[in-house]
Amino acid sequence: MERIYDILQDQDKLEQLCERLASSILEEWHPHGIERGEKWIVKKALPHLIRCLISKLDHERAQPDSSQFPSENLLQGLDSYIAGPLQHQMSQDLNDDPGEVTMIFGHTHQPFQRAWDASSLGTSIKLYNTGGWAVNPGPRQTHMGGAAILLDDELNATSLRFFNQSATENDTSSYRVSVETADPDGNALHNHLILLIDNERAPYRSFSTAAAASVNQRFAVMQQVVDGEDTGAQ
């Protein structure tokens, strides 16, 4: 499955893969009562069917445009989740209205943080997403990266953004550690961490250098996979 994902960005390789899968299926599949002419039709149609299924996978995993994430569909689904099972659980676990709400999740797209008015709760929620720390095939996506969400004893939250991908292999400007919060006015934890991070000194500078090198290495390995080379990677 990982190899399929990697070659989705190369149309010629995708066509070859669909043909090979179709041939393998036909070699193992011996339906009773099928005529030779019908088998020829299946042989021609099967690659197109496989291509449609693989394209469906690609669509479901497609990275959204950074300016539209989280999308309205995602927020509508989140609002339904809050109004249903989450609100039911909160009513059982909490004796009163929670007041301020912070929601942290690990969606596999880009890390982000934002304040969002949840109609189901009638209040603003602070949303945080760690991102998937993923490097996907295809063009580099500067909104992709990785973060860890930190909380203190007062439940102040901030996002420790470890990196975002650069637009090109030689551009390392986006590989900088930062802290970002959904609180419009900041909070004690966020303000404290800002003072601790210095991207010109260790360990932040060395970490960013290693992150840039690792992302570039992953892109190189994925291209080798698309080209059908043995990368030796597990």
- For the record, the structure tokens of 117 come out as 């008015």
pLDDT of residue 234: 46
Q: Which of 181, 178, 233, 180 is nearest to 207 (CA)?
A: 178
- For 41-59, write each residue's pLDDT tens digit: 776 777 777 777 766 655 5
Using the structure block, give the residue that is written with the tokens 């860890």.
Answer: 148
- Whether residue 194 has pLDDT greater than 80: yes
Other CB atoms within a 10 A radius of the CB of residue 2 amount to 8
Torsion of CA 148, 149, 152, 154, to 10 degrees: 180
- Whether residue 154 has pLDDT greater than 90: yes
Residue 198, C-beta contacts closer than 8 angstroms, at least 6 positions apart: 204
Q: Which of 68, 67, 55, 46 is nearest to 14 (CA)?
A: 55
DSSP tag of 161: E
CB 179 within 8 A of CB 160: yes
Strand positions, DSSP E, the chain: 101-105, 112-118, 123-129, 145-151, 157-164, 178-180
- For 86-124, write each residue's pLDDT tens digit: 888 888 888 777 778 899 988 777 899 999 988 887 888
DSSP bridge partners of 114: 127
Q: What's the residue count for the chain?
A: 234
pLDDT of residue 58: 55
Using the structure block, give the residue that is written with the tokens 């991102």.
Answer: 131
